[in-house]
Amino acid sequence: MQQTLFYIPHEVAGIPVFGFGLLLAIWVAGSVGLLAWLAWRQGLSADTWAYVPLLALVAVVIWWLLPVLCHSQGLPIRGFGMMMLVAVVSATGLAVWRARRAGLNPELILSLVFWMFVPGIIGARLFYVVEYWSTDYGLVFRSHGFWAMLGEVVNYTQGGLVVFGSLIGGVLGILAFVRRYRLPLLAVCDLITPSLMLGLALGRIGCVANGCCFGGMCELPWAVTFPCDSPVHFHQVAKGETFIHGLKIGAYSAELPVPVIKEVQPGSAARRQGLKPGLLISGVNGRQVATLQDAAAALVGANKITITAEGNRYVATWPMESRESRDKSRESRVERQEPEAIDARPDGAAELAAIASGERFIHGLKIEANSAAEPVIKQLEPGSPVARHALKPGQRLTTINGARVDTIEQAARALLEADQISITARDGPKGAESVYRWQLEGPLPGSRPVQPVHPTQIYSSINALLLCLLLLAYDPFRRRDGELIALLLSIYPVARFLLEMIRTDESPVFHTGMSISQNASLLLLVCAAALWFYILRQPAGKAFCPSDDSA
């Protein structure tokens, strides 16, 4: 799993890259050059003007969307988005090669890609948003408003595209294209059908990088284990399939789906604190949790320290510098006979004072108060994760783990308590609340924080690649246009239906007991049967035939 490959910086030689910057200037210049070349070749025809909306759309994305997606380090280049690009380029190349063999102008395919790409992406994203509205996007809309929700919707490069949605959008694009250029629909579909499967085969590798589209727990030799804080980890925590901080959680009941402790791990700090199965969880680290998803997010989020300083945001995932590692560091300083404040008081006041005075590193930071008595970064510890981030000395600390810090004492205490977890729980829906607090600790010996799962992304990739090869092998033997797309619609839904049986990231919908993709698979099989009935009633013959010199 590698969600982020690298970052494109905000500036190059002091010139902004995004918004009204260098990238937009390059795009505008390239667009003007392309339109001038098209006008020189074919005049200011409707074909030439057809490129303008897409070129303008990309310009708007560069101007408005990319700055929204930027992080403090720059624009993240995601593994999922990169594999999408590789998939589109490879699929286009295969279609161009097949078009040449059929005696067609390759520019026809390039135009078709433009017509299919945008509606295909929109369809795939909308399908995903509808599927996860109740658990993801609807919650963002209700808590943060329309624009925050829209930002999450358009941020598709982090994952969240559904094949069936892209198929629907792509089909709409093809219909508009063949109507515009008066081309045979089934022949065009056959021309690009193998490319669809090649693109899917490569795109699924992006799902591995993103950590999405995963399968259920698996103990087979080829099972894969994703890291903590991955979508797999969150899913397993929410489903009560793995321990986190010594707890497995679940829903109290169907009528009252609040989070409840299902199991407490033997030997864990949670067990020593007295937590027991059946306790209802109402808060984690001071954050109120009302649903199972809230509790899972808070428990997984407790594995992080998040520091915001003057717009720069640093996030580190556990293990951070824990109390145990600080104790070991203290022991090493004693061995070197370095001066060290001795904290003999149980409330940790001396340790807190050492952090507030900037005498001690904590989580890679030394802090101090500026002239306005506000907390600022004094020094970054060489070699620490935070030293490799955009944070730098002198920056004003604004939040730590979501809590605003306005004084040096608040910042010191927030850093000191960043490796603690507190659970607020009650015995029954009307029981009195109690708070349980303990130091975060690593996984117990012999336990795994994330359970291995079926690599369904790889299964899907292999399935799509085999389908691509089958379609290419069958192509010389087809007698009528439409047979390739009909063959794809006959085989792929069956394979996808079976793959969904071992995927656990999609819930049943429409009271069918099946995922949305399984429902769509059944509908596609009905469409395939109708398409075969139509095709086999047509006379033999193909609109696009391979030319003699390319056979």
pTM, to two decimals: 0.78
Q: How many CB atoms lie within 10 A of CB 551?
A: 8
Q: How far apart are CA 400 and CA 377, in angstroms?
A: 13
Residues 426 and 282 in one domain: yes
Q: What would the mean pLDDT of 373-386 be, rounded to a whole number?
A: 85
Residues 325 and 411 in one domain: yes
Residues 211 and 341 in one domain: no
Write out pLDDT tens, residues 15-33. 899 988 999 999 999 999 9
Q: Is the pLDDT of residue 321 over 60?
A: no
pLDDT for 388 equals: 67
Q: Is the pLDDT of residue 528 over 50?
A: yes
pLDDT for 348 equals: 64
Q: How far apart are CA 547 and CA 401, in angstroms?
A: 65
Which of the 8 DSSP states describes residue 406?
-
Residues 85 and 175 in one domain: yes
Q: How many CB atoms lie within 10 A of CB 79?
A: 23
Counting every residue written for the chain, the total comes to 551
Q: Is the pLDDT of residue 527 over 60?
A: yes
**547 pLDDT band (50/70/90 cuts)?**
low
pLDDT for 328 equals: 47
> Is 308 a member of any domain?
no
Q: How many CB atoms lie within 10 A of CB 279?
A: 22
> Is 226 a member of any domain?
no
Q: What percent of the chain has pLDDT over 90?
A: 38
> Is 103 a member of any domain?
yes
Residues 180 and 242 in one domain: no
Residues 361 and 399 in one domain: yes
Residues 78 and 188 in one domain: yes
Residues 244 and 278 in one domain: yes
CATH number (domain holding residue 399) = 2.30.42.10
> Is 53 a member of any domain?
no
> Is 191 a member of any domain?
yes
- Residue corresponding to tokens 């904590």: 362
Cβ-Cβ contacts under 8 Å for 536 (sequence gap 6 or more): 480
CB 73 within 8 A of CB 17: no
Write out pLDDT tens, residues 324-369. 444 444 444 334 333 333 333 335 678 888 888 888 888 888 999 9
pLDDT for 340 equals: 37
> Is 110 a member of any domain?
yes
Residues 370 and 482 in one domain: no
In angstroms, what CA-CA distances link 277 with 110, 260, 262, 281, 441?
Answer: 60, 8, 5, 11, 20
Q: What would the mean pLDDT of 376-402 be, rounded to a whole number?
A: 81
Q: How many domains does the chain have?
A: 3
189: containing domain:
4-18+70-218+453-550
Residues 251 and 266 in one domain: yes
Write out pLDDT tens, residues 40-88. 988 888 778 878 888 898 899 899 888 877 876 788 888 888 998 899 9
Write out pLDDT tens, residues 173-228. 999 999 988 999 999 999 999 999 999 999 999 999 989 889 999 999 999 999 88
Query: Roughly how many angstroms between the first and final C-alpha of the chain, as a whole number?
Result: 42
